[in-house]
A and B are shown apart, each in its own frame.
Chain A
Amino acid sequence: MNLLAIAWTIARKDLTGYFRDRTGMMLGFLLPVVLITAFGFVMKAAFGGSGGMPKVTLNVIDRDQTPASQKLVESLKASTMLQAKIDDAKPPATEEQARGQVADGAAHHILVIPEGYAAASNSGKPPDLVLIRDPGRQMEDQVIRFGLMRAILESGPTHWQSSLAGLGEKFGMSGPELAILNLATGQIQNAFEKAAASRAADSKPATIKKLDETAVLESFLPIRNEDVSPPRRPKSVTYMLAQNVSGISVMMLMFGITACSSMLLVERDSGAMRRLVSLAVPRHSILLGKFFYAGVIGLLQFAVLLIYGEVMFRVGAFRDPFTLAVLTIAWVVTATTFGMAVAAWARTAKQGEGLSTVLILVFAALGGCWFPIQIDALGTIGQLIVKSTPTYWAMSGFHALLWDQLSWTHPRVLTAIGVQFTMAVGLAILANVFFRRRYLAG
């Protein structure tokens, strides 16, 4: 009997026992599926905003209750960055009540559209909106201010004129001077609108149909926006979804495989290892057999997770089956050797469970399984630590496949695969050393 045949005999025996325990097997497969479902939906809900950003809640009190204020409210509701919660109390809450809500923590940002908002806008004055906020919520504040700016600009075509009028007031312009300014801006507005109307029938129509504050502001920025994304990336895939499917799959595989690797400890404690060691088989075939067993289970678990992720969230995992297969094998081999090294090192099952849980959670966090790692924001040592985790390279490979739509020939994917296999070799050597020390004492 050759080495592989012996190892496979050992693996087949373990697989028989594994599949016979239906409840245990179902739990092994079900737990990652439940997690990926929960995380998938949470990510979709939490990061369903513009460009995969979280939608930030903005409470809105419309005290004006006019068509103009309603237009602003509708614009806020349509925002991809904001989750506008409109206060529909009759009568609307006062500014004082709004301050109380923020002070109580019931809301972190409340926009009050004051009475007279429409009148001010119509008279060419800038609207006097009030944003009551918790100063500790700076991250939300940045998103809200940007979202508010867009919503306000989109809600009315004449704000640029009123803004200039407000600016004129700050310059100390007198009534007649302001009247001249308003006349001038009105004429400018008319000139642009007439031009746009007369170009409508031309072969080269105007790219801007109306002059508003957005158009004015954008004209100050010498930027031409170009959206480029991999042509084969499915529209259903968001950044956080791709992150979630690969992150949970990578992390849960480590847990699954480590559980399988603990078979070494079980056999040592039961005395079966002593019998195996006394048989006329090479000692390393025993370790290889356990590697095959954990690897087969790992491949099955990973395949189930990817198929489930594909069916549930359409992540396009099977777009490039060969790259997917190579990345999967690289990670299963790496995770399996990790599990074997921990199991071979541990003197007791408790030690093995403790060490593997700590390492897996640390690797998952550092490697970006839970949330994307901004590697460039870390210092040299931070980058070194992150890049020394196997999860980082697994995530790098799957991210390249699912999000960047790269194939195995791309240097980034090849590097991820190469580093994982290198780590696997190191871990396998470590596992073998520990196995000889702990299991073949003497």
Chain B
Amino acid sequence: MASPVLVQVSGLRYSYGERVAVRGLSFEIREGEILGFLGPNGAGKSTAISCLAGVLGNYTGEMSFRGQPFRPATNLEDRRLFGVVPQDLAIYESLTARENLNFFATLSGLAGAARDSAVAAALELAGLTDRADDLASTYSGGMKRRLNLVIGNLHSPSLLMLDEPTVGVDPQSRNHIFETLLKLRESGRTLLYTTHYMEEVQRLCDRIAIMNDGQVVAVGSAAELAIAAGTPNANLEQVFLHLTGRSLRDE
């Protein structure tokens, strides 16, 4: 039996001036799953996440959380439900990992023992306990990515949204990030994972939503997508190219 729906998005549309980035996007995220957003550059993945995270507000369409209307751009409590791991390294390099975590934990409403505990758990999850008091500027790219990831999870959000969290990291750190995400799923966390790396969604995601030109063109497991695309024996990359075309994309 399918898990209950955590987030429902219907007909989401967002434009940057004249350029339409998301056009009538509809999808659902189920409790406890990892939903992969797979799409070429400029498909609208980051814009969709920004709308869900409340960073962008002037969208049209409907969003609901556990069946209730959801307006994160204007409602603080709605924003508290989600955690965001931006594609950029949104950490402060002049601070230590512990200071970064303390800062974001405080702004997320954590205080006292709860904050200390959340910070310690995040350091452990990121594998940074031994380097917790070193400046982030001294970290490798992979360490920064891991810190970037656990900051988003500090306040135990109902949904953690990750925007291409493995860009520019070595295989070891990438593997650590995957293991971290799988641990989070095991603990019941729901994840929305955007990437354009096929192997990542195949390894991590329960379901895959293929986005193209601001819309979801297909949703399902890798096998379901292949069948839906009419190419049952094709691999995910072939399905992806079949659904999104072969022309080059510029964001």
Interface residues in chain A, defined as those with a beta carbon under 8 Å from any beta carbon in chain B: 1, 6, 9-10, 13, 16-17, 20-21, 270-272, 274-282, 440-442
- Look across to chain B and name the residue whose beta carbon is closest to the beta carbon of A5: B106
If A272-B91, A274-B88, A442-B14 touch, whether A279 touches B77 (CB-CB below 8 Å) is no
Stretch at the interface among B30-38, B78-86, B239-247: B78-86
Q: Mark B95-131, 1 if CB is under 8 A from A, else 0.
A: 1000100011011110100000000000000000000
Determine if A277 and B55 form an interchain contact, defined as CB atoms under 8 angstroms apart. yes
Given A13-B92, A20-B94, 15 more A-B residue pairs with CB atoms under 8 Å apart are A1-B111, A9-B107, A16-B95, A20-B135, A271-B88, A272-B91, A272-B92, A274-B50, A274-B84, A275-B84, A280-B108, A440-B57, A442-B57, A442-B58, A442-B59
Residue from B59, B87, B90 within 8 A of A272 (CB atoms) = B90
- Look across to chain A and name the residue whose beta carbon is closest to the beta carbon of B82: A278
Interface residues in chain B, defined as those with a beta carbon under 8 Å from any beta carbon in chain A: 14, 16, 50, 53-59, 73, 76-77, 79-80, 82, 84, 86-92, 94-95, 99, 103-104, 106-109, 111, 135, 151-152
Determine if A280 and B50 form an interchain contact, defined as CB atoms under 8 angstroms apart. no
Expressed in whole angstroms, the Cα–Cα distance for A1 and B108 within the complex equals 9
Determine if B86 and A274 form an interchain contact, defined as CB atoms under 8 angstroms apart. yes
| B91 contact set on A, CB distance < 8 A | 272
| A1 contact set on B, CB distance < 8 A | 106-107, 109, 111
Tally of contacts, chain A with chain B, CB under 8 A:
79
- Look across to chain A and name the residue whose beta carbon is closest to the beta carbon of B53: A278
Determine if B104 and A280 form an interchain contact, defined as CB atoms under 8 angstroms apart. no
- Looking at chain A's contact residues, the main secondary structure is helix
Determine if A21 and B94 form an interchain contact, defined as CB atoms under 8 angstroms apart. yes
Determine if A278 and B76 form an interchain contact, defined as CB atoms under 8 angstroms apart. no
Expressed in whole angstroms, the Cα–Cα distance for A274 and B161 within the complex equals 13
Determine if A9 and B54 form an interchain contact, defined as CB atoms under 8 angstroms apart. no
Determine if B151 and A275 form an interchain contact, defined as CB atoms under 8 angstroms apart. yes
| A440 contact set on B, CB distance < 8 A | 55, 57
Rounded to whole Å, the gap between the CB of B40 and the closest CB of chain A is 21
If A17-B95, A279-B104, A280-B80 touch, whether A270 touches B56 (CB-CB below 8 Å) is no
Determine if A281 and B57 form an interchain contact, defined as CB atoms under 8 angstroms apart. no
Rounded to whole Å, the gap between the CB of B210 and the closest CB of chain A is 25
Determine if B94 and A279 form an interchain contact, defined as CB atoms under 8 angstroms apart. no
Determine if B107 and A10 form an interchain contact, defined as CB atoms under 8 angstroms apart. yes
| B82 contact set on A, CB distance < 8 A | 278
Expressed in whole angstroms, the Cα–Cα distance for A352 and B107 within the complex equals 28
A-B contact pairs, 8 of them (CB 8 A): A17-B94, A271-B87, A271-B89, A272-B88, A274-B50, A274-B88, A275-B84, A278-B79
Rounded to whole Å, the gap between the CB of B107 and the closest CB of chain A is 5
Rounded to whole Å, the gap between the CB of B246 and the closest CB of chain A is 31
Determine if A278 and B107 form an interchain contact, defined as CB atoms under 8 angstroms apart. no
Expressed in whole angstroms, the Cα–Cα distance for A442 and B107 within the complex equals 23
Expressed in whole angstroms, the Cα–Cα distance for A275 and B107 within the complex equals 11
Determine if B107 and A276 form an interchain contact, defined as CB atoms under 8 angstroms apart. yes
| B104 contact set on A, CB distance < 8 A | 275, 279
Rounded to whole Å, the gap between the CB of B139 and the closest CB of chain A is 14
